Amino acid sequence: MSPTLPDMICFALYSANQAMQRVYAPLLQKLGLTYPQYLVMLSLWQADGQTVGDLGRALGLESNTVTPLLKRMEAQGLVARSRDGADERQVRVALTDHGRGLQDQVQPLTACIIEACGMPPAEIAELRDRITALRDRLRQAG
């Protein structure tokens, strides 16, 4: 007997991530962002001018995913990409005024998500920490 789908933590993560993205998607769409684009923006609002590699490390993605993602974001006027002067191998990603301006508009999102989670913020934070700890163990195993 193989285990049941609902019994598996891999499916719990798969379907919870799915559900989370489905809550975010319609809210982000109003700002013209997809979910992965939102994650990139979060990272850039934190530290503007990161390289493609920096962003990849922050998101856990390789250039084969990040580069096309950033190209679409550049086409939408969210970021600008340019080779680093000191090291021409690296590409720096800078927020445009529009991209920077979106930060104010995502402010109300946080409350929506907390509401959707249906549990007190402290409990969310505790669950987040345990999920993060699991992730780090899985990364180490890989």
Partner DNA sequence: TGGTATTCAATCGCTCACGATTAAATCGCA
Partner DNA sequence: TGCGATTTAATCGTGAGCGATTGAATACCA
List of residues contacting DNA (CB under 7 A): 14, 18, 21-22, 25, 34-37, 51-54, 56, 60-72, 81, 86-91
CB 38 within 8 A of CB 73: no
Size of the residue set binding its own copies (CB under 8 A) = 56
Q: Name the minimum Å distance from CB 123 to DNA.
A: 25
Q: Which residues 6+ apart lie within 8 Å of 129 measured at CB?
A: none
Tokens at 89, concatenated: 């191998």
User: Given the complex with DNA, which of 48 and 54 has the nearer CB atom?
Assistant: 54
State yes or no: residue 119 binds its own copies (CB under 8 A). Answer: yes
* From DNA, its own copies, none, interface partner of 67 (C-beta below 5 to 8 A by class): DNA
Among 42, 49, 83, 120, binds its own copies (CB under 8 A): 42
Task: Determine which residue in the list 72, 83, 98, 130 makes contact with its own copies, applying CB under 8 A.
Answer: 130
Q: Is 116 in contact with 23 (CB distance < 8 Å)?
A: yes
- Give me the phi and psi of 33, to 5 degrees please: -120, 145
Q: Cβ distance 99 to 77 under 8 Å?
A: yes
Q: Report the residue number, 83 or 128, with the smaller CB distance to its own copies.
A: 128
Pick one of DNA, its own copies, none as the site partner of residue 52 (Cβ within 5 to 8 A by kind). DNA
